[in-house]
């Protein structure tokens, strides 16, 4: 086993412990088939409520226009698929998703797909080595996962490789900050919190863990990607978070915009 293999195994073991402690997953198929909607008593109900709003906005403003334009089943990459709930939803809509993740856990990873009535390919792989032909994908969707990348240029370049000429990259539910220092503070707070709870920081595999406005502009220039920003409404409580943090003199909160990147032709 190489050093990278050892680091990945250690990270996945720690990740599994954290996800289980957070109450992820279920013994019942109905739980998975209902996602991103869940029981009000679910331990992660607030997170899933937000994911549901993101999903609904994605369907209404991005997926449905693409369906109307193409008039066929879409080939879609579900990158960071987790328990494959998005792939399930896409397959129910008669599309052709490919679920990709490095986590194949039966409760919160790719193996949880056994709970779904629909079938779709599941591939254990990372973002930077997608085992698909070039020019074969209509949408490459990072589902609450883009921030796990350790190199945004490499990750986006690989996603671009897979896209058809009319394809797009979609980033859902990744934290975005106005300034990089705000994201860096979030990362330190997060890993310190993990250490207090679990005895480890869960940072064995390096990942950037956030986006910021200067980085988005830089990525656009480096990779010739034109970003379209969508801003879902998550409710007044979420909307007033910046005001609350200013009053309490805390770090500015993240934004959860939806980003759609389209390679520019030059």
| Chain segment 226-265, per-residue pLDDT in tens | 999 999 999 999 999 999 999 999 999 999 999 999 998 6
Kindly report the length of the chain. Answer: 266
What CA–CA distances, in Å, run from 94 to 21, 73, 101, 185, 241? Answer: 34, 6, 22, 42, 38
Q: What pLDDT is stored for residue 265 in this prediction? A: 66
CA 169 – CA 62 distance, rounded (Å): 11
Q: In this structure, are residues 171 and 256 in contact, taking their beta carbons and an 8 Å threshold?
A: no
pLDDT surpasses 70 at 3:
no
Domain with residues 3-263, CATH architecture:
3-Layer(aba) Sandwich (3.40)
Q: What is the mean pLDDT of the chain?
A: 94
| Chain segment 102-151, per-residue pLDDT in tens | 999 999 999 999 999 999 999 999 999 999 999 999 999 999 999 999 99
CA 135 – CA 117 distance, rounded (Å): 29
Number of helical H runs and strand E runs in the chain: 10, 9
What end-to-end distance do the CA atoms of the chain give, in Å?
Answer: 44
Q: What pLDDT is stored for residue 266 in this prediction? A: 56
């Amino acid at each position: 086993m190489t050093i990278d293999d050892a680091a990945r195994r250690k990270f996945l073991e720690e990740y599994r412990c954290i996800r289980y402690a957070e109450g992820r997953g279920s013994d019942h198929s109905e739980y998975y088939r209902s996602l991103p909607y869940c029981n009000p008593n679910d331990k992660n109900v607030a997170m899933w409520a937000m994911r549901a709003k993101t999903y609904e906005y994605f369907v209404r403003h991005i997926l449905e226009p693409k369906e109307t334009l193409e008039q066929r089943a879409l080939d879609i990459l579900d990158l960071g698929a987790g328990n494959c709930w998005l792939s399930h939803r896409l397959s129910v809509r008669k599309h052709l998703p490919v679920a990709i993740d490095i986590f194949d856990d039966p409760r919160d990873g790719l193996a949880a797909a056994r709970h779904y009535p629909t079938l779709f390919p599941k591939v254990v792989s990372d973002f930077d080595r997608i085992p698909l032909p070039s020019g074969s994908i209509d949408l490459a969707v990072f589902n609450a996962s883009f921030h796990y990348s350790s190199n945004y240029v490499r990750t986006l370049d690989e996603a671009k490789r897979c896209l058809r000429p009319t394809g797009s990259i979609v980033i859902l539910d990744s934290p975005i900050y106005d300034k990089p220092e705000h994201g860096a503070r979030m990362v330190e707070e997060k890993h310190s919190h993990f250490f207090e709870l679990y005895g480890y920081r869960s940072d064995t595999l390096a990942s950037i863990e956030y986006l910021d406005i200067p980085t988005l502009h830089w990525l656009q220039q480096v990779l010739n990607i034109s970003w379209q920003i969508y801003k879902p409404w998550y409710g007044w409580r979420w909307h007033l978070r910046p005001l609350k943090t200013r009053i309490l003199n805390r770090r500015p909160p993240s934004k959860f915009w939806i980003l759609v990147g389209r390679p520019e032709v030059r």
